[in-house]
C-alpha cells in the first residue's frame, strides 16, 4: 500500500484484545496525524493502558490492523514500535535516580569511542537536545534525584526524542505534579507538536487536555465512545462521554451485558 502523504501517521482499525474471559478492547478505531495532539481519555478500566500497550508492542492486539503512514504493519514487540518511530514515555518514567541527566538520556544507547564511553560527545548531544526542546535544568551532570518532578518528566520525554520518533505516547505526564511543573510539561508537549510530531496524551486531567489537545478520543468499557474537537466541544460533553451519560449504542449493549474492560 502506498503511503498517503496527508494521511494519519498512525491509524488503528478494529483493534480488539481479550484477557481470558474479559474483552478488554473491542473494535477500537483511532487516527493521529503529524503535528497533532490527541488526548486519550476514559474512566479507570476503560482500556487506555491496554490500547497503549498494543501500539507500543508490549501487549499485541488479538484482532485488527495497525497502519503506519498508510501501510499495515505488525507490532508484536517494543522493538517493532521503536523501529517504526513510536516512542512511549510511561508514568513511572524508568529513570535512574543515582545517575546524572546525561547517563539517563543515553541509558542503553551509550556512545562508544574505541570501546570506551565517549562522555564528551554524550554531554554535547545532551546539551543540544535539551536546548532544542527549550528544557531548562541546572546542569546535565546533576543526578536525576536532585531534579523536580516536572524536570524529571521533561528529561524522560527528551530521552524518547533520541530515536527521532514520529509519534510520542505520553502516559499521564502531569500526574502528581504541581501547577508550575505541570505548565512546564504542557509547554513541552506543545513544542513537540510544533516540531511536527504526532502525540498521544493519556490524561485524567481535563484542564490539561483542554490546554494542549487538538482532539479527544474517549474510551468507555473498552470501546470508542466518541472523538471530539477540543475547540468546539465543552468539557461537560467530554465528561459525559467518559461517564457514559452519552454512551453510543454498542457501549450501552456492552454495559447491559455486564462485561468490564481491563
pLDDT at 253: 46
Q: What is the pLDDT of residues 37-81, one digit of tens each?
A: 999 999 999 999 999 999 999 999 999 999 999 999 999 999 999
pLDDT at 94: 83
Q: Can you tell me the mean pLDDT for 71-97?
A: 93
Indicate the angle between helix axes 149-160 and 179-194, nearest 10 degrees: 20
Structural domains in the chain? 8-84+164-258 (3.40.50.300), 94-163 (no CATH)
Dihedral, 73, 78, 84, 87 alpha carbons, nearest 10: 130
Q: What is the pLDDT of residues 199-243, one digit of tens each?
A: 999 999 999 999 999 999 999 999 999 999 999 999 999 999 999
Q: Can you tell me the mean pLDDT for 118-136?
A: 94
Q: How far apart are CA 167 and CA 201, in angstroms?
A: 11
Whether the CB-CB separation of 24 and 221 falls below 8 Å is answered with no
State yes or no: pLDDT of 177 exceeds 70: yes
State yes or no: pLDDT of 249 exceeds 50: no
pLDDT at 4: 39
Amino acid at each position: 500500500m502506498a503511503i498517503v502523504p496527508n494521511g494519519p501517521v498512525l491509524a488503528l482499525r478494529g483493534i480488539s484484545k481479550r484477557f481470558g474471559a474479559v474483552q478488554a478492547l473491542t473494535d477500537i478505531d483511532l487516527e493521529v496525524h503529524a503535528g497533532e495532539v490527541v488526548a486519550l481519555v476514559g474512566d479507570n478500566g476503560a482500556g487506555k493502558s491496554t490500547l497503549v500497550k498494543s501500539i507500543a508492542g508490549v501487549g499485541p492486539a488479538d484482532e485488527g490492523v495497525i497502519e503506519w503512514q498508510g501501510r499495515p504493519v505488525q507490532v508484536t514487540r517494543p522493538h517493532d514500535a521503536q523501529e517504526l518511530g513510536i516512542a512511549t514515555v510511561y508514568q513511572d518514567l524508568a529513570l535512574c535516580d543515582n545517575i546524572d541527566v546525561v547517563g539517563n538520556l543515553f541509558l542503553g544507547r551509550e556512545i562508544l569511542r574505541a570501546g570506551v564511553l565517549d562522555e564528551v560527545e554524550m554531554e554535547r548531544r545532551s546539551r543540544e537536545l535539551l536546548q532544542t526542546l527549550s528544557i531548562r535544568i541546572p546542569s546535565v551532570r546533576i543526578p536525576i534525584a536532585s531534579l523536580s518532578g516536572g524536570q524529571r518528566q521533561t528529561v524522560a520525554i527528551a530521552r524518547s526524542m533520541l530515536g527521532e520518533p514520529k509519534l510520542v505516547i505520553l502516559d499521564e505526564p502531569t500526574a502528581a505534579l504541581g501547577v508550575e511543573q505541570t505548565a512546564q510539561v504542557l509547554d513541552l508537549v506543545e513544542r513537540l507538536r510544533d516540531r511536527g510530531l504526532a502525540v498521544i496524551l493519556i490524561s485524567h486531567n481535563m484542564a490539561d487536555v483542554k490546554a494542549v489537545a487538538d482532539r479527544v478520543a474517549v474510551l468507555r468499557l473498552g470501546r470508542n465512545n466518541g472523538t471530539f474537537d477540543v475547540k468546539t466541544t465543552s468539557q461537560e460533553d467530554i465528561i459525559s462521554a467518559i461517564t457514559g451519560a452519552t454512551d453510543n449504542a454498542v457501549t450501552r449493549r456492552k454495559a447491559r451485558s455486564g462485561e468490564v474492560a481491563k
